[in-house]
Amino acid sequence: MARIVGGICTSHIPAIGAAIARGAQDDDYWRPFFKGYPPVRDWLAETKPDIAIMIYNDHGLNFFLDKLPTFAIGAAAEYQNADEGWGLPTLPPYAGDPEFSWHLIESLVNDEFDLTTCQEMLVDHAFTVPIALLWPDRSTMTAKTVPISVNTVQHPLPTPKRCYDLGVAVGRAVASHPEDLKVVVIATGGLSHQLEGKRAGFINKAFDEMCMRDLIEDPLALTRFSIHELVEHAGSQGVELIMWLAMRGALGKDVAKLHSHYHIPVSNTGAGLLLLENAA
């Protein structure tokens, strides 16, 4: 049986990818951010997951305003990256696992989550930057990927509760896969940030800290926020918290925190990192 060995949430700010490309990880600005990651890299090196389910939000590279699925899932043998600006290099493709993807799709659609299935999917910084943070040496990344993209771009967005429930269904889908595979669920985005308008640069540290706590102890409390309340508390792009809720839904009721880190600001964002596993 496949099983979820852990869940990771991390911010995906493009400036991080640009800093990695420049080799600036040890600069004064970047050191306090990058120092949060080695414990999670070590855990991955030790755990060696076979599959990484990447729950992220496309920012306009693969989907645009003309056609924007609420939830989309990849079923390809590989996923290409492409130039999206931000000073980011275009990175080599990521391995997929069509068989595992289709198992997830069958199970999720049966569970009444009607995702858009993509046999071709470009992956943007929300997918590539977390992988660069977690596996700085790509040759050590044995996990094949399954991208699940959540609309955070064009309102109406899926509710926090719906995203948590999607995660629960992902958990059920993994548990019903017959092969003995180790699966890590990686959610990207957040925490508080707003990139445009009068509140550009808005960060809410107290709210971020509450989210990092409640995500572990009382995730259902976070599912009670509406999207508009999340925008108010976390900024218009802070709604990326909904991916974190999907990851949490995929884990069991009780989880143990293995590592956490929070640093502000990174670019315009409160940057958070969490590594959780199911409680024994």
Catalytically annotated residues: 125, 193
Span from 11-19, 30-38, 62-70, 73-81 in contact with ligand DHB (CB under 6 A): 11-19
Query: Please, what is the minimum distance in Å from the beta carbon of residue 185 to ligand DHB?
Result: 19
Query: Please, what is the minimum distance in Å from the beta carbon of residue 20 to ligand DHB?
Result: 15
Per-position b or e across 241-251, b if 16+ CB within 10 A of its CB: bbbbbbbbbbb
Instruction: Give me the residue label for tokens 């969490």.
Output: 274
C-alpha distances (whole Å) from 280 to each of 149, 179, 181, 251 are 30, 22, 19, 12
Q: Per-residue x/- mask for ligand DHB, residues 13 to 32, rule CB under 6 A?
A: xxx-----------------
Q: Say how far apart CA 228 and CA 234 lie, in whole Å.
A: 10
Question: Where are any strands of DSSP class E within the chain?
Answer: 3-10, 51-56, 71-74, 78-79, 94-95, 116-118, 144-150, 182-188, 255-266, 269-278
Report helix, strand or coil for 218. coil
The residue within the footprint of ligand DHB, chosen from 193, 233, 248, 261 (CB under 6 A), is: 193
62 or 107: whose CB is closer to ligand DHB? 62
Q: Per-residue x/- mask for ligand DHB, residues 209 to 248, rule CB under 6 A?
A: ----------------------------x--x--------
193 or 263: whose CB is closer to ligand DHB? 193
Residues interacting with ligand DHB, by CB under 6 A? 12-15, 59, 189, 193, 195, 237, 240, 267-269
